[in-house]
Structure 1
Amino acid sequence: MDNDKIKERILEILDLFGMTGTKAAEIMGVKASTFNCKKNDNNPRHWFNQKNLDDLVAFIKREAERL
């Protein structure tokens, strides 16, 4: 999956579950400022990657199993 599709998917998931950027950053293991840079289209140095998406999905699955 390319970076644009990964970013789009991550933002869809965050919106669907009502997660804040701070919580998402914690889940992905990055600083909140780095997360915000990844969201910004004008910052070519930071972007979401497959690991970020995998971390987010794994967190949601773990939380769902706890229910």
Structure 2
Amino acid sequence: MDTIEITKEIDRVLELFGMTGVKAAEAMGVTYATFNSKKNPNNDRHKFNQKNLDDLKNFIREAFQKL
């Protein structure tokens, strides 16, 4: 997956589960400022990567297992 596809998938997951940027940043192990930088399409320095997507999905899986 390229960064555009990863960003779209992250946006889809966040919308599906109604997650805020703060909680998503926590799930990915990044600061909120870095999360916002990665979400900004005009920022060439920070981009979402496969690890960010995997961390987000694992966070959601673990949260559901606790229920």
Task: Please indicate, yes or no, whether the TM-score normalized by the shorter chain is above 0.5.
Answer: yes
| 1:35 counterpart letter in structure 2 | F
Aligned-residue Cα RMSD (Å) equals 0.6
Match of 1:10 in 2: 10
Q: How many corresponding residue pairs?
A: 67
* 1:24-53 Cα shifts (integer Å, max 9, x gaps): 001111110110010000000000000000
**Corresponding residue for 1:61?**
61
1:31 corresponds to: 31
Residue of structure 2 in register with 1:19 after alignment: 19
In the TM superposition, what is the alpha-carbon distance from 1:65 to its structure 2 partner? 1.2
Q: Normalising by structure 1, report the TM-score.
A: 0.96
How many percent of aligned residue pairs carry the same amino acid? 60
Stretches of structure 2 that go unaligned for 5 or more consecutive residues are none
Q: Which runs of 5+ in 1 are unaligned?
A: none
- In the TM superposition, structure 1's runs of 4+ consecutive aligned residues that sit over 4 Å from their partners are none
